Amino acid sequence: MMKPAYIWNITTKVAAAAHERWFTWLKEEYIPAFLATGCFYDAMILKLMQQEEDGDPTYAVQFYAPSAANYRQFAELHYAALKTKMRATWGTDCYSFESALQVVN
């Protein structure tokens, strides 16, 4: 199995009322759109174990890039459009922030 050199992490808190629809959209549309850029070779969905008092679930989705060039290409060419897509589709039903991580051994 290939080890990532860079990880693009998106952490999203989703309103409980929109959770089911959002999760289906995440798996069927959003993650495939990221992978279709060719910058990432795989993704993993993680759910935070400790939820906040309001009961809204929080997820992290990690996208794995094999090189700095792949990461830079994504950041420069694709990131803005995909972030806009999330905001346009879900508005205030979810709040996301992104982190770019470099794997160190």
Across 25-93, the runs of DSSP E, i.e. the strands, are 42-47, 58-65
Closest CA to 65 of 32, 42, 97: 42
pLDDT of residue 3: 81
pLDDT of residue 2: 77
Listed by start position, the domains of the chain span 16-47+67-90
pLDDT of residue 49: 87
pLDDT of residue 91: 92
How far is the first Cα of the chain from the last one, in angstroms, to the nearest whole number? Answer: 16
pLDDT tens by residue, 47-100: 998 766 778 999 999 999 999 899 899 999 999 999 998 899 999 999 999 999
Across 1-105, the runs of DSSP E, i.e. the strands, are 6-14, 42-47, 58-65, 94-102
pLDDT of residue 42: 96
pLDDT tens by residue, 15-35: 999 999 999 999 999 999 999
pTM here is: 0.89
Residues 51, 14: Cα–Cα separation, whole Å: 11
pLDDT of residue 1: 65
Cα dihedral 26/47/58/83 (nearest 10) = -40
CA distances from 47 to 10, 27, 51, 99 (A): 12, 14, 9, 16
Half-sphere exposure of residue 101: CA atoms within 13 angstroms, side-chain side: 15
